[in-house]
Amino acid sequence: MAKMSKIRDLKDVLIKVLSSRDITHGLARACRRLQKEIVLYENHVKGKDELAKLELKFQTRKVQIGGGSHVLAGYLNIDICPPADVVFDIREYIPLQDSTVDHIFSEHFLEHIDYPVSVKKFVSECYRVLKQGGELILGVPDGELILNKYVERDVDFYKKMISKWYSKRSCLGDFNTYIDLVNYHFRDQDDDDIYTPHLWTYDFEKMEFLLKSVGFKTVGLWNFDETIANPKREWASLYVIAKK
């Protein structure tokens, strides 16, 4: 395919640019980010081609989006990377028909896509594919909690957050004040080979406004259910449930 040939050419150019001794720090960061996005694009194109061949049919009316390795049995798992059932970039759209789904679950995904464009598109698409009375459950890092703890200067929370969520991050050596933890919560780890950065943070007020703005009738707090959600995510997270 011609478009993939151009992508391969671009990848080769990026490798050459990154190997240059004259490259600046800023340009190198931008190139590495583009390399990551190219991988996602290639996954999307391949997944889209496979989807067209399969003429997607699924028995379950439950969908998980952005679950990564936390694949849910009994769900149609959609993500931009394997091992999802459907590999697809939902920043474009959700590859399902209108009003065909009873239940959508997504945790620690929303904060990794850009706001406002992709986030507003995503929640609108969730609303579109849900049946009347269907439900959307979203889990995100709790922005209000981290800000409150910053004001309180809660040292125990600070230590627990680092040990529980960020212990494997490469930039911990640059953590020396509480504001570093706040910044990390908002941005996670930028320009890293393994981790995808946070792009926005949320509290209940923002989630409620966002979901109601696309048509959801009710938005409330969701009671954590470890048969669905990842137990490792419960602490310091905000989960909401919205009904169409």
Asked whether residue 62 falls in the same domain as residue 97, the answer is yes
> Does residue 111 share a domain with residue 22?
no
Cα–Cα distance for residue pair 201/185, rounded to 1 Å = 8
- Whether residue 160 sits in one domain with residue 63: no
Distance CA 148, CA 153 (A): 8
Written as one string, the DSSP assignment of 90-143 is: TTT--SS-TT-EEEEEEES-GGGS-TTHHHHHHHHHHHHHEEEEEEEEEEEEBH
Please tell me whether residue 7 adopts helix, strand or coil conformation.
helix
120 and 74 in a single domain? The answer is: yes
Residue whose tokens read 């991988």: 39
Give yes or no: residues 25 and 126 share one domain: no
Whole-model pTM? 0.94
Looking at the structure, tell me whether residues 16 and 123 fall in a common domain. no
For 50-91, write each residue's pLDDT tens digit: 887 766 666 679 999 999 999 999 999 999 999 999 999 999
Same domain, 88 and 30: no
Considering the domain architecture, whether residues 154 and 116 belong to the same structural domain is answered as no
In-domain check, residue 18: yes
Q: Are residues 93 and 133 in the same domain?
A: yes
The string of pLDDT tens digits covering residues 80-120 is: 999 999 999 999 999 999 999 999 999 999 999 999 999 99
Q: Are 61 and 37 part of one and the same domain?
A: no
User: What is d(CA 171, CA 44) in angstroms, rounded to the nearest whole number?
Assistant: 30
CATH number of domain containing 65: 3.40.50.150
| C-alpha to C-alpha distance for 91 and 106, rounded to whole angstroms | 14
Q: Is residue 13 one of the residues assigned to a domain?
A: yes
Tell me how far apart the alpha carbons of residues 7 and 13 are, in angstroms, rounded to a whole number. 10
Q: Based on the domain organization, do 128 and 94 belong to the same domain?
A: yes
CA angle (41, 55, 109) in 5-degree steps: 40
Higher pLDDT, 57 or 7: 7
**Is the same domain home to 88 and 134?**
yes
pLDDT tens for residues 148-168? Answer: 999 999 999 999 998 888 888
pLDDT at residue 55 in the model: 62
pLDDT at residue 174 above 90? no
Ordered DSSP codes for 17-84 = HHT-TT--HHHHHHHHHHHHHHHHHHHHHHHHHHHHHHT---S--EEEES-TT-PPTTSEEEESSTTS
pLDDT at 54: 67
Q: Dig out the tokens for 3 from the structure.
A: 């478009």
Q: Are strands 130-141 and 237-243 parallel, antiparallel or unpaired?
A: antiparallel
Pairing of strands 101-107, 237-243: unpaired
Please indicate, yes or no, if residue 50 is contained in any of the structural domains.
no
User: Does residue 68 lie within any of the structural domains?
Assistant: yes
Upper half-sphere CA count for residue 46 (Cβ side, 13 Å): 13
* Tokens 């953590």 belong to residue: 175
The total number of structural domains that make up the chain: 3
Range of the domain at 9: 2-42
> Residue 197: inside a domain, yes or no?
no
